[in-house]
A and B are shown apart, each in its own frame.
Chain A
Amino acid sequence: DAGVTQSPTHLIKTRGQHVTLRCSPISGHKSVSWYQQVLGQGPQFIFQYYEKEERGRGNFPDRFSARQFPNYSSELNVNALLLGDSALYLCASSFTGGRRDGYTFGSGTRLTVV
């Protein structure tokens, strides 16, 4: 079975540009969460989606948005990129996001803003 797949694996963007990151969860998983991991730190929660609805949002500006599609895949969008948005963006999938579901992370998308 395929794990959590994220694309692209790396990309470089210029300040002010827009970026879209994509995530396909494990087959059968209906919840997707997004995390930002800045170099040298632990991941920080951005969004959680379940059955196409936003269930939770972390302390990130409105430049960050996401959505989940009927096939449970998800996109994370970031507008007006800043240098500080450079990070590894991780997607995690679980059955429902509930307490005993467990989260499986993808390998991430490394975003560099120049």
Chain B
Amino acid sequence: GQQLNQSPQSMFIQEGEDVSMNCTSSSIFNTWLWYKQEPGEGPVLLIALYKAGELTSNGRLTAQFGITRKDSFLNISASIPSDVGIYFCAGQLLTGTASKLTFGTGTRLQVTL
């Protein structure tokens, strides 16, 4: 099935560093979402973006909905050990009464002290 292109695939950073990851698609989406998944758990929603160009923050997290509606990025500032996990972007497409999420390939984040 289709997966969005997400980069980088993995990151190893030191505590306190800033992180940036992005997601691109060949298709247009109505909504962009960013999720974090930890081992043994389902994805947890971090940020939702609803219109092209929108820039939204949630604490140390900032995300933007690309102008073309085909891309999005997520920044994490001043990383801490609990930021460890896999980050997924997801595009939501509404077709008639149907709604589905298409996920990216994921960015695995490791934070060292």
Contact = CB atoms under 8 A, between A and B. Distances in A.
A59 B1 contact: yes
A50 interface: yes
Interface stretch (A63-71, A75-83, A102-110): A102-110
B3 interface: yes
A55 interface: yes
Which DSSP category, helix, strand, loop or mixed, fits chain B's interface? strand
A58 B50 contact: no
B1 A102 contact: no
A48 B98 contact: yes
Interface residues of B, number: 31
Contacts of B98: 48, 55-56, 97
Contacts of B4: 42
Given A58-B1, A105-B44, A107-B42, A42 B104 contact: yes
Contacts of B90: 42
A105 B102 CA distance: 14
Given A55-B98, A56-B98, A99-B50, A44 B42 contact: no
A56 B40 contact: no
Nearest to A6: B42
B79 interface: no
Interface in A31-59: 31, 33, 35, 41-45, 48, 50, 55-56, 58-59
Nearest to A94: B99
B105 to A, nearest CB: 6
B104 A103 contact: no
B97 interface: yes
Contacts of A107: 40-42
B43 A45 contact: no
B106 A41 contact: yes
